[in-house]
């Protein structure tokens, strides 16, 4: 298979493979996608992330051509394809269910699309063999899908899509049917495949960790709309809304009101009476005096059995519950005012605290965000 050279950073900045302009999709009066604007650059690994029913799969189907927009434009490589049938678009889709033909061998499954197009036998054979090599399935060419594991079926589905040499690869929950260990292994293989080919990948997923680990950029959707688009680190470290902060990873959300500003420091009183100091980027500097939501990640919070030397964001409480999760210990700490905070601790033995242990929780003003309520 002829491999596409990965585009340079300069070309990525100016070349769009997929663009959605004010795209909406309405089913029997219900809006599934609501005025979505997206620009996906050539060679990107772009993920659309959100809970079930948020419109992410419908958005992918609009790009694939399985649905047509009610309003707006879908452009692929600058060409409006909103009402172009799926088979004429330079895209291929890999589904969670694999969608393999059970009565055909692996080789014939991959060759199916090329035969429909009427490619000469020699060219078909070369492309199929190259695709099998790309996904490391050469020795399974004559097996039927029923004789394959879940990971092997997913590789065949990828090969079947790639053999057509699409400009854009669409992935609809591609690893959702795999067990955890195999899913993580396939994430690495999928990332390597993307880097090797250099073509645009657009993936729909509800798995936050999968999106964070694979993507160049992520669009977070809720109720048919895009909440935020950014790099994985931007989405995680600088969420723009309480929904994004809560959906991406774990966080503690505290509702309150800004009652004082001292330069870039905000003093916020929560609904339960805690006084919290926030100093974090434009969120704090631009926040008006009024209602806000404080977001503080569990891994940013420290625990101590003695009162720490800190001037703010320090509260007494006790360990209500703890769970050992291998990479870390998940603690729930109940504060004196009744609030409960989730805290992640290293699993080093000397730092593990038992339930009912009296503790102080504390964090720096730079380790939390003030978001518009």
Assign 4 a pLDDT band (cuts: 50, 70, 90): very low
pLDDT at 349 over 90: no
Q: Which domains does the chain have, with CATH numbers?
A: 9-237 (3.40.50.300), 250-372 (2.40.50.140)
Query: Which of 270, 268, 267 lies closest to 335, judged by CA?
Result: 270
User: Residue 305 is encoded by which pair of tokens?
Assistant: 């059995």
Q: Calculate mean pLDDT across residues 143-160.
A: 89
Among the residue ranges 2-6, 26-30, 139-143, the one predicted with the least confidence is 2-6
pLDDT in tens, 10-21: 334 458 999 999
Is residue 215's pLDDT more than 60? yes
Q: How far is the C-alpha of 303 from the C-alpha of 127, rounded, in Å?
A: 58
What pLDDT was estimated at residue 286?
A: 53
What would the pLDDT profile of 235-286 be if each residue is shown by its tens digit?
A: 999 999 999 999 998 999 999 998 888 877 889 999 999 999 998 644 545 5
Spatial distance between the Cα atoms of 271 and 254, rounded to a whole number of angstroms: 8
pLDDT digits (tens, 9 = 90+) for 317-341: 999 998 888 888 899 999 999 999 9
For the beta carbon of residue 132, count every other beta carbon within 10 angstroms. 22
Q: Which of 40, 16, 36 is nearest to 26 (CA)?
A: 36
What is 106-169 written as a DSSP string? HHHHHHHHHHHHT--HHHHHHHHHHHHHHTT-GGGTT--GGGS-HHHHHHHHHHHHHTT--SEE
Q: What is the pLDDT of residue 318?
A: 94
Residue 189 CB neighbour total at 10 angstroms: 16
Which pTM does this prediction carry? 0.86
pLDDT (average), residues 192-199: 89
């Amino acid at each position: 298979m002829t491999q596409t050279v990965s585009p340079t950073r300069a070309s990525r900045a100016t070349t769009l493979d997929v663009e959605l302009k004010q795209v909406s999709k309405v089913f029997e009066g219900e809006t599934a996608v609501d005025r979505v604007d997206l620009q996906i650059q050539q060679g990107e690994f772009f993920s659309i992330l959100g809970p079930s029913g948020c419109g992410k799969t419908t958005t992918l189907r609009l790009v694939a051509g399985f649905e047509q927009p009610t309003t707006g434009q879908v452009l692929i490589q600058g060409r409006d394809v909103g009402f172009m049938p799926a088979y004429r678009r330079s895209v291929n889709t890999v589904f969670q269910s694999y969608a393999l033909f059970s009565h055909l061998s692996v080789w014939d499954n991959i060759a199916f699309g090329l035969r429909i197009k009427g490619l000469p036998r020699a060219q078909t054979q070369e492309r199929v063999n190259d695709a099998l090599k790309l996904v490391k399935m050469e020795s399974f060419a004559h097996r039927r899908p029923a004789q394959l594991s879940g990971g092997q079926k997913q590789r065949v589905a990828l090969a079947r899509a790639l053999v057509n040499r699409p400009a854009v690869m669409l992935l609809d929950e591609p690893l959702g049917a795999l067990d955890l260990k195999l899913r993580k292994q396939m994430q690495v293989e999928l990332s390597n495949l993307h880097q090797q080919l250099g073509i645009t990948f657009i993936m729909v997923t509800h798995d936050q960790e999968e999106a964070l680990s694979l993507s160049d950029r992520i669009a977070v959707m809720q109720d048919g709309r895009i909440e935020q688009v950014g790099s994985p680190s931007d989405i995680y470290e600088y969420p723009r809304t309480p929904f994004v902060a809560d959906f991406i990873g774990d966080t503690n959300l505290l509702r309150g009101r800004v009652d004082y500003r001292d330069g870039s420091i905000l003093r916020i009183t929560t609904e339960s009476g805690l006084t919290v100091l926030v100093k974090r980027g434009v969120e704090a500097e631009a926040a008006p005096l009024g209602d806000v939501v404080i977001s503080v990640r569990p891994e940013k919070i420290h625990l101590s059995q003695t009162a720490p030397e800190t001037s703010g964001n320090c509260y007494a409480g006790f360990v209500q519950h703890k769970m050992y999760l291998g990479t870390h210990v998940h603690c729930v700490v109940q504060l004196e005012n009744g609030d409960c905070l989730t805290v992640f601790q290293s699993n080093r033995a000397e730092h593990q605290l038992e339930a009912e242990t009296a503790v102080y929780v504390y964090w720096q003003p730079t380790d939390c965000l003030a978001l518009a309520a």
